[in-house]
Chain A
Amino acid sequence: MLSVDVSNGLHEELEALAFRNKVRAIGVALHDLETGFRFSLRGDRWFHAASTIKVAVLLAVFRAADEGRFHLNDSLHVRNRFFSAADRVLFRVSQDRDATPELYANIGRTAKISALAHAMICGSSNLASNLLLDFVGVEYARTILQKAEVYGVELRRGVEDHDAHERGINNEATADGLLSLLSAIRGDFLTPESKREVIRILLEQRFNSMIPAGLPPHATVAHKTGEISTACHDIGIVYLPEREPYIVAILTEFNPETDGRRETVAAISDAIYRSLLRTEPKSNED
């Protein structure tokens, strides 16, 4: 009964919040490891995955390392030269749009795979993401998602592949799918060492204006954001010292001109936190 109450209340609150903030589409999936409570609000709705897809690449990279295909300490040649999933036409990622411009100083030289994984998640580097995906291969990464029983995450190409985008070849995900991806990371799909390292990388996320912004300061979040012109997502594992963590995926879609998108995701995060811990809403009147 408790779960039903929480679920009904949360459902209504998130719908109202989405309406108020002009959210065009919302998908939320939640698994509370303290109580076992699961919640899904349009969790099967497909969204452009934006940079949340990098978590799937991260899983594939660490699994490949676990399988002995390479060592995380190995070096990889850094090149800004990729081939479109649409027609194999060459494309380059833009340094101006990359949050880790320092990686571009390594072009022509090498970078450690572990450092690229860190840059891909913590700084959401598109260059690092494409290098790693190119290295392990899209087909291998897709196989790993299947082996991990992650359904609802369609990895089809690298990022900034505009030719592929124009032809409708995109990375897509559902909230339920991304929740299962984080669950796979937290489960026993990776070796304990790799699992620890993956979660450590996710904990060092530099963009914290969504899920963490809706939480009290003592919460820590292993997470990955994703934003493009219409999509604004955050997925993560929320750690609170007083209880077991919960896993959450918040996917939203807006009209391109809509403001306050990150704040909306933060408000959804706040609503989820309050519903799970039965606390009162934050006040702005202090």
Chain B
Amino acid sequence: MRTEYLRPIDGLRLAEKYRALLRPNENEAGANHTVHRLPRFFYEIGSWEEAHEIRLVPHFTLAELMLVDCREARLLLSQFPHYVPCAILLLARFLEDFRREVDAPVFISANGGYRSPAHEIGGAKSIHAWGTAANVYRVGDTFLSDARSIEKYRTIAMSLSPVVFVRPYGREKGQTNDHLHIDLGYAKLTPRECSEAS
């Protein structure tokens, strides 16, 4: 695991232009009157080369979990450093377990890992803004675009931990039909060297 490049930072100490987009530690209203606090601690990534170098677990690099398209805020898209919530480590750990279970390469789609609260798809309402969700579009040679494949891998993913949620196949809101959405809930991670005092 190559993680020597990982530099944890407190999002509350970032420059205003980043705080406006990442909204560290801010509350975000969810469904059914729930409120969730957005991530506060991030890893600072200096370049795409770094992101490719950082192997979070044996089969996943950080780059795979932070690839977004141009629906991301311009500042977070085209300039480095980039910031990803520290909980991305938990997601990578789960994906490694999942990969071992399915015994095949697991492919994460673009916009399918961490997306900032400023991303046009879902924004802060999406659990992807916590860095704890992954959209898997392919397992081995199988593209997950039908009920059979999505339900098969959904069952496997959900068997690995009670904390895991996987969306069912379907065309309605909350369902998926061209990928497997896996998430670990609104988990946050505070690196031991960081203080949560304001």
Contact = CB atoms under 8 A, between A and B. Distances in A.
A73 to B, nearest CB: 9
B171 interface: yes
A23 B122 CA distance: 50
Nearest to A113: B70
Contacts of B107: 108
Interface of A: 70-71, 74-81, 89-90, 92, 107-110, 113
Contacts of A90: 171, 177
B115 to A, nearest CB: 11
B70 A71 contact: yes
A110 B171 contact: no
Contact of B171 (A71, A89, A107): A89
Given A71-B70, A107-B137, A107-B143, A77 B110 contact: yes
Q: Is the interface of B mostly helix, strand, loop or mixed?
A: loop
B137 A108 contact: yes
B125 to A, nearest CB: 18
Interface in B137-191: 137-138, 143, 145, 171, 177-179
Interface of B: 67, 69-71, 77, 107, 109-112, 137-138, 143, 145, 171, 177-179
A135 to B, nearest CB: 9
Contacts of B179: 108
Given A78-B110, A80-B178, 12 more contacts: A71-B70, A74-B77, A75-B69, A75-B70, A76-B69, A77-B110, A79-B109, A89-B171, A107-B143, A108-B109, A108-B110, A110-B67
Contacts of A80: 145, 178
Contacts of A77: 69, 71, 109-111
Given A74-B69, A77-B69, A90-B171, A110 B110 contact: yes
A80 B143 CA distance: 11
Contacts of B111: 77
Among all A-B residue pairs, the 8 with the closest Cβ atoms: A74-B70, A108-B137, A77-B110, A108-B109, A77-B69, A110-B110, A81-B178, A70-B70
Contacts of A71: 70
A109 B64 CA distance: 10
Nearest to B69: A77
Given A77-B109, A77-B111, A110 B69 contact: yes
B62 to A, nearest CB: 17
14 contacts: A74-B69, A75-B110, A77-B69, A77-B71, A77-B110, A80-B145, A107-B137, A108-B110, A108-B112, A108-B137, A108-B138, A108-B143, A109-B67, A110-B69
Contacts of B138: 108
Contacts of B71: 77
A228 B179 CA distance: 32
B70 A76 contact: yes
A109 B178 contact: no
Contacts of B67: 109-110
A276 B143 CA distance: 54
A90 B71 CA distance: 21
Contacts of A89: 171
Contacts of B137: 107-108
Contacts of A81: 177-178
B78 to A, nearest CB: 8
A11 to B, nearest CB: 48
B72 to A, nearest CB: 10
Nearest to A68: B74
Instruction: Give the most central of B77, B109, B110, B145: most A CB within 10 Å.
Output: B110
Contacts of A107: 137, 143
Contacts of A79: 109, 178
A75 to B, nearest CB: 5
A75 B69 CA distance: 5
Contacts of B178: 79-81
A86 to B, nearest CB: 14
A92 B70 CA distance: 22
A175 B77 CA distance: 42
B25 to A, nearest CB: 29
A128 B98 CA distance: 32
